[in-house]
Chain A
């Protein structure tokens, strides 16, 4: 069965420090991987995606993620965190060649950036 795991419920980081939000996946086939961000009582906003090509993907607001096929991971990173980055982050996966765009979401990681 396909699944996505976000092993940390919460990540705390000081403003200006680098941040990493972890995501691992389990799929049969080539994965399409996504990161979304959610601010309180709002919908999800797209950050970035990996479909094919370079393993390092750059997205919105200075975020990037690295696809690692051998470790089945797609960790979200940012070199210097901002207080405004504090939000709930979701990793998601869908199957390449699938008949639909159905996504499987992780349980989310709350990022708290302290000033």
Chain B
């Protein structure tokens, strides 16, 4: 899981509540990503950010929001507008250069359960 941390590991939320998932990296990577993983569907991209103070929607951004105020941090907020938020959420980052610039490095994930 490298230098990417996600917290908490497990999160429970009641319907109608917003919740924020943390993602921090100390790898000095420029780009960061949020994915959602559901059984049998692989990983789907929610949001990504290539640089501080800039981010773009991925394939399933509805009901989610992000911010990128610092290079090392890319928090994801799951809002009450997200109709089916129960899933495993993965954060990733990519270096701008070097031999591994084409790879994504993943955090350990946060499992969100809506009660």
Assembly CA distance A45 to B88 (angstroms): 16
Name the distance in Å between A17's Cβ and chain B's nearest Cβ: 26
Of A42, A45, A101, A106, the residue contacting B94 (CB under 8 A) is: A101
Specify the chain B residue showing the minimal Cβ separation from A103. Answer: B104
Name the distance in Å between A47's Cβ and chain B's nearest Cβ: 10
* Cβ contact within 8 Å between B43 and A90: yes
Chain A interface main SS type = loop
Name the distance in Å between B110's Cβ and chain A's nearest Cβ: 10
| Known A-B contacts A49-B102, A100-B31, A102-B48; A43 and B90 likewise in contact (beta carbons under 8 Å) | yes
* Cβ contact within 8 Å between B1 and A90: no
Specify the chain A residue showing the minimal Cβ separation from B41. Answer: A107
Specify the chain A residue showing the minimal Cβ separation from B111. Answer: A41
Assembly CA distance A52 to B115 (angstroms): 47
* Cβ contact within 8 Å between B42 and A105: yes
* Cβ contact within 8 Å between B50 and A100: yes
| Known A-B contacts A51-B102, A100-B31; A42 and B108 likewise in contact (beta carbons under 8 Å) | yes
With a cutoff of 8 Å between Cβ atoms, the chain A residues found around residue B31 in the complex are: 100-101
* Cβ contact within 8 Å between A42 and B48: no
Considering the complex, which residues of chain A in the window 58-112 have a beta carbon less than 8 Å from any beta carbon of chain B? 90, 94, 100-103, 105-108
Name the distance in Å between B39's Cβ and chain A's nearest Cβ: 9
With a cutoff of 8 Å between Cβ atoms, the chain A residues found around residue B35 in the complex are: 105
With a cutoff of 8 Å between Cβ atoms, the chain B residues found around residue A44 in the complex are: 43, 90, 92, 104, 106
Assembly CA distance A106 to B40 (angstroms): 10
Q: A25 in the interface, Cβ–Cβ < 8 Å? A: no
Name the distance in Å between A107's Cβ and chain B's nearest Cβ: 4
Specify the chain B residue showing the minimal Cβ separation from A51. Answer: B102
With a cutoff of 8 Å between Cβ atoms, the chain B residues found around residue A32 in the complex are: 102
| Known A-B contacts A34-B103, A49-B102, A49-B103; A108 and B42 likewise in contact (beta carbons under 8 Å) | yes
Name the distance in Å between A46's Cβ and chain B's nearest Cβ: 5
In addition to A36-B106, A44-B104, 10 A-B residue pairs with Cβ atoms within 8 Å of each other are A42-B109, A43-B1, A44-B43, A90-B42, A94-B102, A100-B48, A102-B45, A105-B35, A105-B43, A105-B44
